[in-house]
Structure 1
Amino acid sequence: MSASLDPSRLEDAEAAEAADPGGMLRQVASSAAQVREARRAAAEAGLAELAEDGRPRGIVVAGTGSSAVPGDVLAAVCGPGSAVPISTVRGYRLPGWVGAADLVVAVSPSGAAEDTLEVAAEAARRGCRLLVVGDAASPLAELAARSRGVVVPVRPAGPARSSLWALTIPLLLAARTLRLADVPDTVLESTAELLEDVAHRCRPSSEPFVNPAKRLALDLAGDVPLVWGSSAPSAAAAYRMCCQLGENAKYPAVFGEVPETGRNQVAVFDGFFARAGSQAGPADPDDFFRDRVDEPEHGLHLVLMRDVEEHPRVRRRCEASAALARDRGVAVTEIRAEGAHPLERIASLIALADYVTVYLAIALGVDPASEPAVQELEARIA
């Protein structure tokens, strides 16, 4: 059955929760608790063992699907000034350069993902230091134990995409232990508090015209989102939003980074989905009460994830791209990061985006927790 937009599903908490049988809203609201619980789990896991042989030559994060995003967050928080390269592997093989001097981090909530398990086994054969973030009673944890690796246990609770912070915080604390990231406990707590604040603003009982996540979800419905980041943290958040639009709302989106948009994505402003042909002209995206009757049924929607730390050229490109889009009738929404530390900023963007994708699913009559096509694919290749 095809999805159909019904804004009334977002009008109150009872309606929203009734359309969310898998409880994805509750799982998104658990982000702050995940930060605090993961901090305690990492403290008890003995991360100091990772530093016994000194700083690694490089860090490779292995994961599949949503379990790979923590690697993107780690690289963004450490930034371009990181003393060692940080890369993410989404597949079955380690890069050829990885060896005994490197740290491999295997991320899997269930600890049974075949590709992640295969990468971890290869890392063990090459003599790499191994860190596992996942179920303590899993094949991946057993492999780590046999290889003298470190395991940070994660309590399985819902799909991997709803456990981002439970999977990410151990990586940040491992980097802190190796003196590669400046993430003090005060920043972890301020990040948790920021996540709580976003959860309050985006709570199901908040009406759509004052709830930023519900409002953006309704504005995106029917459009093709182009989600761009203006920095490493905001680009990681933009990629996460595109993934969440796919998995939660079953909705396509296009990811981009402002410095790299160049001609290819800007060119589509003049394409089939641009609203330039609308006699109504560009709509004001800030006017929630505008009359949508005369607006085209489909169009592009540029979502700019802005950071407080942007290169001057990137800032000018953001402003020029937004103006160019509006001139052509393309809707533009800017989401600005909050906080000072890179972790705070990326968390604020991801938190809002997660709510947007769940609310869009609910408004479209889609169960955000279900993945029938993914399950069918897995059954066909099993």
Structure 2
Amino acid sequence: MRTPEFDDARLDHADVVNDEQLRTLAETGARIRRACLSEPVGSLERADRPRGVLVLGAEARLVRAVLEPVCPVPFLAWPGPALPAWVGPLDLVVSLGGYDAHEWEVACTHEAARRGATLIVAAPEASQLAAAGSSHATTLVPVPQGDSMAAAVAVLELLGRLELGPQVNPGHVADAADLVAQACSPARNLAENPAKNLAIGLAEAVPLVWGGTTLAMRASRRIAEALRRASGRPALAADADELDTLLRAVTPRDPFSDPFESDGDSFPVLVMLDEDKVPARLAEVPRRLSSLADAVGVRVCRISSGEASLTSSDVERYVTLLQYGRYAAAYLRLGLTP
């Protein structure tokens, strides 16, 4: 596949600090803090445990990945387009979204309120989603700017207080986002900026993204989406078996070929997320993928959420991985844009 010419000099240009996408990424921690400090509208009683929990909307699968292992009641991330028939007054429905929520999400939220289900709606107060979920059994978590990440963190913190999930400290999650913003600041040059280096590694490549943990796999899909939008090229997030098949099908790179005389076709690059956090019983998986990549000359790029010995929560690690990937996508776009 033909790719636009990538110019790494653009990444250190003085005007990069004014890039709107980079500014939005840098403000992620602040948006998480604002969402979690917003006073919920309505009260959610803790005494009655719901029969089941259903989550829909943006980042529903993130909430599922965090809650599923510990939630004491059945839990489901719902893909739509209609509300399940079993949802009723004994159940809790969590709706996450912003001003751009899909019509089916708004319709399902309204239907859940009509059936008398307990609702948590994390959305801007003036949004259609907030209006659709209005009822005496609804708790609205106001989310400034409709940021899906901030909404998910605020909901996870609330569900933790309701003993339906693990305890989540929003301040620590916001700090994790701020640390990535500092490391990936446009003021840092190529030599010391991990996101700029990753963007260079992906400049003329088709990314194959793999995550070593459940939340890293979730982050891999979000990162692949960001890379596709940034470059206009394919980017695949997949499990180890699927990537194993793809790597075995790659024609080995000729180490003696002249890269400047290539036909411009893209070559895969394997992006591994938190390979050092893989459970011991699966430790062979990242080693196998790395060996296959090396055998055919596929470059391996790595993103880590920090030392395995650190006591970071799963949500903090997820945000760290996702932000590194999003920053790399933003720099990739800048390098490909004249």
TM normalised by structure 1 equals 0.79
SS at match of 1:152: strand
Q: Deviations over 1:64-121 (max 9, x none)?
A: xxxx22x222222335233234332233212344333221112221165312101112
Partner Cα distance (2:165, 2:41) in 1: 18
Q: Does the 8 Å CA contact 2:248/2:292 hold for their aligned counterparts?
A: no
**Structure 1 match to 2:252:** 276
Partner Cα distance (2:63, 2:275) in 1: 17
Q: Does the 8 Å CA contact 2:112/2:119 hold for their aligned counterparts?
A: yes
Partner Cα distance (1:250, 1:59) in 2: 37
Is the counterpart of residue 235 in structure 1 residue 217 in structure 2? yes
State the AA in 2 paired with 1:329. G
- How far the C-alpha of 1:344 sits from its partner, in A, is 1.6
**Structure 1 match to 2:36:** 39
SS at match of 1:224: strand
Partner Cα distance (1:197, 1:90) in 2: 33
- How far the C-alpha of 1:171 sits from its partner, in A, is 1.4
Is the counterpart of residue 364 in structure 1 residue 332 in structure 2? no
| Partner of residue 221 from structure 1, selected from 203, 213, 222 | 203
**Structure 2 match to 1:103:** 92
State the AA in 2 paired with 1:266. D
Is the counterpart of residue 142 in structure 1 residue 137 in structure 2? no
Deviating runs (4+, > 4 A) in structure 1? 291-297
Is the counterpart of residue 74 in structure 1 residue 63 in structure 2? yes
Q: Deviations over 1:46-74 (max 9, x none)?
A: 57x333452223322211xxxx22x2222
Flag the 1:153–1:217 CA change in 2: closer, same or farther, 3 A. same
| Partner of residue 174 from structure 1, selected from 158, 164, 185 | 158
Is the counterpart of residue 91 in structure 1 residue 80 in structure 2? yes
**Structure 1 match to 2:26:** 29
State the AA in 1 paired with 2:105. T
SS at match of 1:226: strand
Q: Deviations over 1:248-288 (max 9, x none)?
A: 4444211123xxx32x33121133xx35132349xxxxxxx
Aligned length: 331
Partner Cα distance (1:299, 1:190) in 2: 38
Q: Does the 8 Å CA contact 1:226/1:256 hold for their aligned counterparts?
A: yes
SS at match of 2:90: coil
Match runs of 1:341-380 below 5 Å = 341-365=313-337
Partner Cα distance (2:330, 2:100) in 1: 26
State the AA in 1 paired with 2:48. G
- How far the C-alpha of 1:28 sits from its partner, in A, is 0.3
State the AA in 2 paired with 1:11. D
**Structure 2 match to 1:379:** none
Q: Deviations over 1:189-220 (max 9, x none)?
A: 22222221111110011112321001101111
- How far the C-alpha of 1:127 sits from its partner, in A, is 2.2
**Structure 1 match to 2:292:** 324
SS at match of 2:219: helix
TM normalised by structure 2 equals 0.88
- How far the C-alpha of 1:30 sits from its partner, in A, is 0.7
Flag structure 1 segments of 5+ consecutive residues without an equivalent: 282-290, 367-382
- How far the C-alpha of 1:310 sits from its partner, in A, is 2.5
Q: CA RMSD in A?
A: 2.5
Partner Cα distance (1:177, 1:349) in 2: 25
Partner Cα distance (2:254, 2:212) in 1: 29
SS at match of 1:209: helix
SS at match of 2:69: coil
Q: Does the 8 Å CA contact 2:31/2:144 hold for their aligned counterparts?
A: no
Q: Does the 8 Å CA contact 2:98/2:129 hold for their aligned counterparts?
A: no
Q: Does the 8 Å CA contact 1:111/1:135 hold for their aligned counterparts?
A: no
